[in-house]
Amino acid sequence: MPSARNSIRSAAIENGLLTAIWEDGHQSRFHPIWLRHQCWCPECGTPETGVRSIRLHHIDEGISIESAAVEGNSVQVIWPDGHRSEYAARWLRNHCYSDAERARRRVQPVLWDSTLRTDLPVGSLAEAEADPAARLKILEKVRDYGFCKIVDAPAGKAESQRMIRLAGAQRQTHYGTYTLKKKATVTNVGDTTGPLDPHVDEPYRYAAIGITVFQVLRPSSNGGASTLVDGFEAVRRLKQQWPEDFSLLCNTPVTCQRFDPGDNSHGNMRWYKSHLPVIRLDDRGEVCGVRMNERQISPLDVPGDQVVPVYRALKRLFELLYSDDLRLTLDLKAGEGLLFDNQRLLHGRTGFAPETPPRAVLTSSVDLDDFHSSMRLLQRELDPDAMHLVLQQGMAG
């Protein structure tokens, strides 16, 4: 039995629109051109796979519906040229574009500060491998909190793919699967031993890393704890306290760059440079991505009268980002790991003294869209209404 929200009570044409009334009382209104364009018949094809022969120039904007009727739990539509379309009720409800349904489909991030330490999002790799529902729970935590701690990550490098596969297909970067540890030539601060302020990785790329996968192979015995900060909460505070600085950072591009002589990437010399705002808003004006790495800010290329205001805004934002009030410190042990959204969270590290054998943390990444793809595929089996939720697209919002 479909739920009340996915059951159609009636369908009729009102003021030229298909009006569906649902068993939970909700009403949806669909424009004829929207319905005609999304026809799923064998002749038209399907927007889900993109294999479709229907073309917009075949459809008049003012197209009308000849007739519509509920049959079973779907709506049958006949068009003036005799073409027939069928829309499953559940599909229609999950694509209803009323204000209420569009708002419902938006996933709201759970913003947090340092008090989250008493109630960390945590998951088990072994449970996730045995049970897709447990894996989905982990991915939903990453979606909602921006991270999830994994309590039973493998302590060996050979099994790194298990942690990566939890989130999705690995993104191959010039680093490959990189082990952060002290090295003879250091051109990556992750290989140093001093404390690292919270930062986003690789904001110098147009598409920064999406999900970062940390796997602790060997922790330091005297520090080197991971720190996390919710960039969305920091930006919310900035907007509340300094609204003009907030809008400046939403609209002003800041240059970030990274010259890599090849030590970090198996001899692959690289020079990346991006010119993008540090805060990204989605179509509703909600924050959907942050990219802030103080060390990588390159010469500002903005109108002269904006130089001081932009620096002031950056200083205020970094003050929030670096405050104890926002920072979580996670003393991860060997065989623990983290999945985190690098387009929302900033991460850092406390300092430590070098020792032998050295602290080693494996870092890999999965693009945000591949992480979302993994979640959708699990929802398709376990929670089909959820696979239509609109996910935040990070810096690509």
Q: Which residues bind Fe ion (CB under 5 A)?
A: 201
3-class SS at 163? helix
Residue 269 contact partner, candidates Zn ion, Fe ion, none, CB within 5 to 8 A by sort of partner: none
Nearest approach, Cβ of residue 138 and Fe ion (Å):
22
Judged by beta carbon, residue 201 or residue 233, the one nearer Fe ion is: 201
Nearest approach, Cβ of residue 343 and Fe ion (Å):
13
Judged by beta carbon, residue 132 or residue 351, the one nearer Fe ion is: 351
Judged by beta carbon, residue 201 or residue 341, the one nearer Fe ion is: 201
Residue 8 contact partner, candidates Zn ion, Fe ion, none, CB within 5 to 8 A by sort of partner: none
Residue 228 contact partner, candidates Fe ion, Zn ion, none, CB within 5 to 8 A by sort of partner: none
Give the pairing of strands 226-230 and 254-260: unpaired
3-class SS at 22? strand
Residue 41 contact partner, candidates Fe ion, Zn ion, none, CB within 5 to 8 A by sort of partner: Zn ion
Residue 44 contact partner, candidates Fe ion, Zn ion, none, CB within 5 to 8 A by sort of partner: Zn ion
3-class SS at 247? helix
In which residue are the tokens 């204000």 written?
A: 99
Residue 39 contact partner, candidates Zn ion, Fe ion, none, CB within 5 to 8 A by sort of partner: Zn ion
Decide: 217 and 157 in contact? Cβ < 8 Å: yes
Among left, alpha and beta (phi > 0; psi -120 to 50; other), residue 318 is alpha
Nearest approach, Cβ of residue 360 and Fe ion (Å):
15
CA distance 332 to 215: 9
Give the pairing of strands 270-276 and 27-30: unpaired
Judged by beta carbon, residue 79 or residue 145, the one nearer Zn ion is: 79
Burial (Cβ within 10 Å: 0-12, 13-18, ≥19) of residue 128: buried
Decide: 292 and 231 in contact? Cβ < 8 Å: yes
CA distance 189 to 325: 25
Binding site for Zn ion (CB under 5 A): 39, 41, 44
Nearest approach, Cβ of residue 293 and Fe ion (Å):
8
Q: Which helix (H) or strand (E) holds 365?
A: strand 360-366
Judged by beta carbon, residue 201 or residue 245, the one nearer Fe ion is: 201
Decide: 5 and 22 in contact? Cβ < 8 Å: yes
Judged by beta carbon, residue 38 or residue 94, the one nearer Zn ion is: 38
Nearest approach, Cβ of residue 213 and Fe ion (Å):
12
Residue 201 contact partner, candidates Zn ion, Fe ion, none, CB within 5 to 8 A by sort of partner: Fe ion
Decide: 142 and 194 in contact? Cβ < 8 Å: no
Judged by beta carbon, residue 91 or residue 242, the one nearer Zn ion is: 91
- The residue nearest Fe ion at its CB is 201
Nearest approach, Cβ of residue 78 and Zn ion (Å):
11
Nearest approach, Cβ of residue 65 and Zn ion (Å):
13
* Angle between helix 231-241 and 243-251 (nearest 10): 130
